Structure 1
């Protein structure tokens, strides 16, 4: 069943404001990403998920322009947020405040025709079953695009499949500081998920703790492998009672955004 947020087709009036947290919030004054621009195209536009905080829209346009200048290719932008952000009935837990965006790792050399945009399918970078990269699909342009995005100060995190993170860790980079932002997360085997920091001066947006120090290419990454065996310690053998998940309550301002 559709959520109330999925039924709204237009953003609210006023300046952009991300309210609440990435996975429990909404978006006031959402801005629309043009469906085609310098170095990119929006895919699956019929879903109406190409709205974001103004900071995200500017970031994406600048990233794609840089990508074109570096001859990476024509980048395909997936879901950002719905017109007023908020909860999805399925598909995303986050993407609620206009500060998350999915970017496909299939990168055509030229812009796609309208018909091709409707029929193009995702291109997997990972053989999930065998936990390894698909060499014929992965290239330096995918790595370069992720590196370009992660190096931007506005970016808080980038989520990729652990095997893609592994592939990035193997490469020889002059600067590896950006790798700390690239976080392993299952499911992201054909796209990467960019998450921006709360915009400067924002009082309604809940920020996230920064990623752990280091490039994240050691034990933490290895622990995602299906073959990983964690060392046995006195703490790990203790029975841990799972904590009940708290019920998420949307910030009160979101009710105003939804009804305005």
Structure 2
């Protein structure tokens, strides 16, 4: 009897061990990538899509440069593809020649190896996204502690319908400089900013205005997304293109007003389908949800 009970307990323990294994194997990807504090020692490569991928061989944006400062350093998100780091350095130098801007305050780019983040962004996963503060830098010698305390400014009203007096012609010049760069795929801004740019830009500004896309939030920063670099075979190009989204125009048509009118009105609640599959966000992804190459990025030295 005692022998049978002993064998039963062994079998139960083995069963528990086997059932626990998949849980360990399914550890959340954002925990795994968030734990890495250095890039992989691999050739640079954006892998997957902007919101479902990872990044090999990223480069760290220096904390301070002649025309920029990386903000919120405690987050460890100042890593990007070489093309992104070069773009930020180039843009900041260009912006430093605009009256009132000493350069750029640069927010989140990506984690050292990209991937889903523990908090914040759904995208920024492959090293080709960067947030740039709307706050015009007056000086570029902020300490690490200063950069944790200082905040950007909002250029959008509380009701989300219009710009505020924080918005200036210099902001427009900064956005035009960014969007005019051929490396840029699109830039996300708060909808009132797109409306204001459409109101003030010239009639021949279709090419760069087309890249300015309205989206929720983005009132204290603008979000730059670069194209997949040439030869980046593991990088997924975003669809639809900005040309398709604007029907080949500049995106300044009547549909733009939807963002500050009907979209802000209370919407009737749709009944929930109890049989509908639950949608998972990036913070619920496991490694199985990411491209297979991401396992090698994670395990690389």
Q: TM-score if structure 1 supplies the norm length?
A: 0.89
Shift of 1:202: 1.1
Structure 1 stretches of 4+ with a deviation exceeding 6 A read 245-248
Which blocks of at least 5 consecutive residues in structure 2 are unaligned? 1-27, 265-272
CA offset digits 1:174-230 (Å, max 9, x no partner): 53321111100001111000000000111100001311221111122111123469x
Q: Deviations over 1:140-172 (max 9, x none)?
A: 111111110001111001000101111111113
Q: Which residue of 2 aligns with 1:66?
A: 94
- Counterpart in 2 of 1:254? 294
Task: Confirm whether residue 89 of structure 1 aligns to residue 112 of structure 2.
Answer: no
Please report the RMSD computed on the Cα atoms of aligned residues, expressed in angstroms.
2.3
Once residues 44 and 109 of structure 2 are traced to their aligned partners in structure 1, the CA distance between those partners, rounded to angstroms, is 14
- Paired positions, count: 250
What secondary structure is seen at the aligned counterpart in 1 of 2:205? coil
1:47-106 per-position Cα deviation (integer Å, ceiling 9, x unaligned): 100000111011111111111133433310000000000001221000000000000000
- Runs of 5+ in structure 1 lacking a partner? 230-240
- Give the Cα separation in 2 of the matches to 1:186 and 1:245: 23
SS in 2 for 1:189: coil
**Residues of 2 paired with 1:29 and 1:208: CA distance?**
21
Query: Does 1:187 find its partner at 2:217?
Result: yes
- Asked if 1:220 corresponds to 2:248, the answer is no
CA distance in 2, matches of 1:172, 1:86: 37
Partners of 1:175 and 1:219 lie apart in 2 by 18
Q: The residue matched to 2:120 in structure 1 has which SS?
A: coil
SS at match of 1:194: strand
Quick check: 2:68–2:105 contact (8 Å CA) kept in 1?
yes
Greater share of helix:
2
Name the CA distance, whole Å, in 2 between partners of 1:245 and 1:178.
38
CA contact (8 A) 1:38 1:68 kept: no
Distance 1:166 1:244 in 2: 37
Match of 2:133 in 1: 104
Rounded to whole Å, the distance in 1 between the matches of 2:178 and 2:278 is: 33
Any idea what SS the aligned residue of 1:132 has?
Answer: coil
Post-superposition shift, 1:110?
Answer: 2.3
Taking the aligned partners of 2:278 and 2:257, their CA distance within structure 1 comes to 27
1:123 pairs with 119, 131, 153, which one?
A: 153
1:42-53 alignment runs, 5 A limit: 42-53=70-81
Which residue among 139, 142, 148 is the counterpart of 1:113? 142
Does the CA-based 8 Å contact 2:128-2:226 persist in structure 1? yes
